[in-house]
Amino acid sequence: MTAPDAVLVQLWAQHIAQTDAPIRQALTALGQHHSAQLADAFYRAMLADPQAGALLTHDDVNTRLHSSMQRWITQTLGSWDTAQVPALVALQRHIGQVHARINVGMELVVRGARQLKHDIVQTLLRTDMDTAQVLRTAMAAHELIDLALEAMTIQYKESRDLATRTDEAYRSLASSVNMSLERERQRTALLDWQSQFLQKVMMMHPDDEVTRLGQSSFGLWVQHKANAFNGSSDERESILSAMRRIDADLLPRCEDELTGQTDELGRQTARHVLTEVQQIRYFTDSMFEHLVDMESGRDALTQLLNRRYLPAVLGRELELSRRSGHPFSLMLVDVDHFKHINDHYGHSCGDRALQHLAALLSNTARSGDFVFRFGGEEFIIVSVEMPALQALHEAEKIRKAVENDPVLLPEGRQLHMTVSIGVATYDGHPDYQHLIEQADQALYAAKSEGRNRVVPSQRPQPT
């Protein structure tokens, strides 16, 4: 038990000892008979804030949190056994951790608690207690709520501090990637888009539509990964502004003019597009000039991102998805019968198999996607701006690629392996752990159904 927890346990136990039996009975009854109305009051106060409203409108969260709040009220006001106090403190810690994970600020929780205290007093005033009894009972209830809030706040601060350190470490890792190689990769991606654009301009048909730069490999990288390298730099903001001008204004105009047989106007607009691309190339080079050229902090065996950076990435993608409305997907990939591979071929061959799969996943993922070694023989791909059906299609391509690409072993031997993949798509739930759990359940289903298959977390209902 930590020192802060020990202090809280002692204070909570002292409060129980100092509370007489009639007050205990009154608060226990209050929790049992009025928990629903008190939970309503708590969430009414919280949801008045637009920030909380955006986080807590998901039906699943709403339903589960309301029932959880009722249990919390009943438990907090009705637990008078000092032996239960360590468990009560641990519960408040867990709640604070969840609040930190889904980014519900403690100021919102305190606001809801203030309304809860007010409604407790109003409820007590409607009983047949005299004023002195109401006062003593309300003070006892307020003390319990304050003790719970103190435990939540301690955990919330610890969790947020850890998340901040992890995010900083991820930025440090991102900055230590081989920037010369990354710069050439993004230059090539931008050049590829420019070549495709010019080809479309030269051969424009009425039904043709130019791929938006923001949806290209380069555009996805800028939106989802470049900010990790150097935060919200001026260069990145300039690139984003130029991309928006191209996608929202210049490309639609160019398409309309070319398909409307006003070729000269269309080609003038195309030249404006190329001017913007030239500016993007300049700002991209300038951005990379600020970054270091070194490798560190990746998974030692596979050179993929370490799982410690997964919360930082998922937290950022949740926020981007909420703002943009574009869903993203998560694939949980597991090597089938990996224990047999280690037992039969040896651990060195098992390591080679994991390196082979890591390389395949990295080559398959788009420039803006994130590939992690999740642990052991499990890998995670965070596929940005990818809806459910596309994610299933991409996961199936990965499954087939693994099946058809054997691992080369010493002495000319080959290892044929397969993978099972669980796929989950962000559905608005504010806790990234929910998305991981959905993918994990889908992976478990894939294993149960025979392995070497892709299973989505939400299957179509039979008609």
Catalytic residues: 377
Residues listed for the chain: 463
For 94, the token pair is 């867990």
Q: Give the C-alpha separation, 84 to 269, whole Å.
A: 72
Taking a C-beta distance cutoff of 8 angstroms, is the pair 234, 228 a contact?
Answer: no
Interior/surface letters 72-97, b for 16+ CB within 10 angstroms, e for the rest: bbbbbbbbbeeeebbebbebbbebbb
Q: Which residues of 269-308 are buried (b: 16+ CB within 10 A; e: fewer)?
A: bbeebeebbeebbebbeebbeebeeeeebbbeebebbbee
Q: CA 34, CA 188: separation in Å to the nearest integer?
A: 64
Separation CA 228–CA 166 (nearest Å): 12
* Residue whose tokens read 């058809």: 404
d(CA 287, CA 246): 20
Structure token pair of residue 103: 């980014």
Residue carrying the six token digits 């070549």: 195
Encode burial over 368-378: b for 16+ CB neighbours within 10 A, e otherwise. Answer: bbbbbbbeebb
Residues 156 and 161: their CA atoms lie apart, in Å, by 8
Q: Which helix (H) or strand (E) holds 395?
A: helix 388-404
Contacts 24+ apart (CB under 8 A), 119-124: 119/37, 119/38, 119/41, 120/30, 120/38, 123/30, 123/34, 123/37, 123/38, 124/26, 124/30
Say how far apart CA 247 and CA 34 lie, in whole Å.
55
- Residue 335 is inside which H or E element, if any? strand 329-335
CA 445 to chain CA centroid, nearest Å: 22
Q: Do the strands 329-335 and 305-306 form a parallel or antiparallel pair, or are they unpaired? A: unpaired
